[in-house]
């Protein structure tokens, strides 16, 4: 945990969400941090100082002229030993003061005089959050290098529903832990696949595997914590989406293939549009794609996520891929028109790395039944016919605009030999291998990294620890690319 041994000044401002700060203090301490609470006078109307003193074991400061500080300079002394200042909740009033450098109490003065990083967790009514003045103030803080966590959207104490709700304590603690991770992948875009695929036999049965998706989700989380923009294409798993990660849910190998290729097509089209003037044909093609997919409605996506969209055109006006007419993916593809239309916002850069962690089925059932297959009196089994699924990793690696490709191999024996052969067959620079049946569904793993120069073993550890090591490895390889 990156919070272990850290000293956090927890600033609490006035608002109903102040009670969440008590839970936050406990979460930060559970992660190994020392918490020093500083409260505004308004905050004490919602939660008493005794609560934070009992939780943190340290005196709580509210007064700029507190005589418990020998030199009378609490606003300076409290931050000189701190690793970060965290304001949670941060009211609209407090955010405005921070943005404009006003300091009329201990907490505002402390923030202005600090020599450590500052993070702010907004909490306010939805209308206050949406107010242009608040948005300007938040933008100013971001420009000044202040980290903004949230806000969330949901039910509010006032009885209304919308954006402005304070993040939960566990989410804030996770964000603070990630705050201290070196941002070795800052500015990079990473596309990851995770989990199994499910290949239907009939409406109620199918073929799948034992992959839990934990390794892929851990890598997505680690890359995001290292500063990357991460899109995660997930097979059928019930894992929560890592904070800040865009998630696209798919079921079959064909759906995963289309989602991956469309993400790459979108990035290529956007890059070409940035390189030169956009032709009328290109703009018309993208506007048509926007109309087609924008009308299909939003599907099941994590908050803030978008779906993949096929049919976008590159700088020459030629379609980059055929539009996806699979109804199972239609919902996943709805929002990309808004996000990536020719006249709308486009990705700031192409995709830098593709990490193929998903355990994709090699075959699918060619003669899938539209009704449930029934047992017969003679005990005979249904005659299933199979066809090979697309090789997603190999196809990505062959693209002229291929990102840095990392493959995964789940083997059952002869790990080094089989994985080495797979790396060469797929044409990827790095392959990560493990014994599949020894890791599926478990929290630990042991990995073998194979490239053109040989192999290196990552000893058994938690999947989170291995994912962090792989994110560091990826950052090094991208710099050397």
What are 8-61's pLDDT values in tens digits? 999 999 988 999 999 999 999 999 999 999 999 999 999 999 999 999 999 999
**Is residue 397 included in any domain, yes or no?**
yes
Model confidence over 374-383: pLDDT tens digits? 888 787 888 8
**Is residue 2 included in any domain, yes or no?**
no
Same domain, 168 and 212: no
So which residues are the catalytic ones?
A: 158
- Predicted confidence at residue 72, as pLDDT, reads 60
Total residue count of the chain as it appears in this document? 481
Q: What is the CATH number of the domain that holds 368?
A: 3.40.50.10300
Q: CB within 8 A of 31, min separation 6: which ones?
A: 1, 3, 4, 173, 176, 177
**Is residue 386 included in any domain, yes or no?**
yes
Same domain, 215 and 156: no
Same domain, 156 and 285: no
Could you give the number of structural domains in the chain? 2
- Predicted confidence at residue 434, as pLDDT, reads 78
Same domain, 298 and 240: yes
Question: What is the spatial distance between Cα 260 and Cα 73, in angstroms, rounded to a whole number?
Answer: 56
Q: What is the CATH number of the domain that holds 38?
A: 3.40.50.1950
Asked whether the beta carbons of 330 and 308 are under 8 A apart, the reply is no
Same domain, 257 and 311: yes
Same domain, 358 and 444: yes
Asked whether the beta carbons of 341 and 290 are under 8 A apart, the reply is yes
- Predicted confidence at residue 257, as pLDDT, reads 93
Same domain, 150 and 211: no
Same domain, 437 and 295: yes
Same domain, 134 and 237: no
**Is residue 110 included in any domain, yes or no?**
yes
Same domain, 141 and 31: yes
Of 179, 203, 218, which one is at a domain's C-terminal end? 179
Question: Which parts of the chain sit beneath pLDDT 70?
Answer: 1, 67, 70-75, 271-349, 411-413, 435-442
Question: 314 is in which domain, residue-wise?
Answer: 189-480
- Predicted confidence at residue 398, as pLDDT, reads 92
Same domain, 299 and 420: yes
Of 179, 214, 238, which one is at a domain's C-terminal end? 179
Same domain, 163 and 238: no
Q: CB within 8 A of 149, min separation 6: which ones?
A: 88, 119, 120, 121, 167, 171, 172, 175, 176
- Predicted confidence at residue 293, as pLDDT, reads 45
Of 179, 203, 227, which one is at a domain's C-terminal end? 179
Asked whether the beta carbons of 15 and 91 are under 8 A apart, the reply is yes
Give pTM, 2 decimals: 0.77
């Amino acid at each position: 945990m990156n919070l272990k041994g850290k000293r956090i000044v927890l600033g609490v401002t006035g608002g109903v969400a102040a009670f969440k700060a008590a839970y936050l203090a406990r979460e930060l301490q559970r992660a190994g941090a020392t918490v020093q609470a500083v409260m505004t006078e308004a905050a004490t109307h919602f939660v008493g100082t005794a609560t934070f003193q009992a939780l943190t074991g340290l005196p709580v400061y509210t007064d700029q002229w507190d005589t418990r500080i020998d030199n009378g300079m609490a606003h300076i002394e409290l931050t000189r030993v701190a690793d970060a200042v965290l304001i949670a909740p941060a009211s609209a009033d407090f955010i405005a003061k921070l943005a404009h450098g006003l300091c009329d109490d201990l907490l505002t003065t402390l923030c202005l005089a600090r020599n450590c990083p500052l993070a702010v967790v907004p909490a306010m009514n939805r209308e206050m959050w949406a107010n242009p003045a608040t948005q300007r103030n938040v933008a100013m803080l971001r420009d000044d290098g202040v980290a903004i966590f949230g806000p969330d959207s949901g039910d509010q104490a006032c009885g209304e529903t919308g954006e402005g709700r304070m993040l939960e304590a566990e989410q804030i603690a996770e964000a603070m832990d990630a705050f201290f991770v070196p941002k070795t992948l800052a500015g990079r875009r990473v596309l990851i696949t995770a989990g199994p695929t499910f290949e239907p036999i009939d409406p109620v049965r199918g073929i799948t595997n034992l992959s839990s998706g934990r390794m892929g989700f851990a890598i997505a989380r680690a890359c995001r914590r290292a500063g990357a923009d991460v899109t995660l294409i997930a097979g059928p798993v019930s894992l929560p989406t890592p904070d800040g990660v865009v998630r696209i849910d798919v079921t079959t190998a064909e759906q995963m293939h289309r989602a991956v290729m469309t993400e790459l097509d979108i990035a290529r089209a956007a890059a070409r549009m940035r390189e030169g003037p956009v032709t009328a044909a290109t703009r018309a093609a993208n506007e048509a794609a926007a109309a087609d997919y924008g009308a299909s409605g939003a599907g099941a996506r994590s908050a803030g996520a978008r779906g993949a969209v096929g049919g976008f055109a590159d700088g020459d006006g030629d379609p980059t891929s055929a539009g996806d007419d699979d109804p199972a993916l239609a919902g996943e593809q709805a929002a990309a028109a808004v996000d990536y239309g020719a006249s709308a916002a486009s990705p700031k850069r192409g995709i830098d790395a593709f990490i193929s962690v998903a355990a994709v089925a090699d075959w699918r059932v060619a003669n899938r039944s539209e009704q449930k297959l029934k047992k017969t009196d003679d005990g005979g089994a249904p005659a299933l016919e199979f066809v090979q699924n697309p090789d997603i990793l190999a196809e990505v690696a062959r693209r002229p605009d291929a990102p840095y490709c990392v493959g995964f191999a789940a083997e059952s024996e002869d790990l080094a030999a089989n994985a080495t052969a797979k790396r060469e067959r797929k044409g990827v620079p790095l392959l990560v291998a493990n014994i599949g049946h020894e890791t599926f569904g478990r929290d630990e793993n042991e990995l073998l990294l194979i490239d053109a120069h040989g192999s290196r073993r990552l000893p058994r550890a938690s999947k989170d620890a291995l994912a962090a090591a792989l994110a560091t490895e990826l950052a090094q390889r991208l710099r050397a690319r």
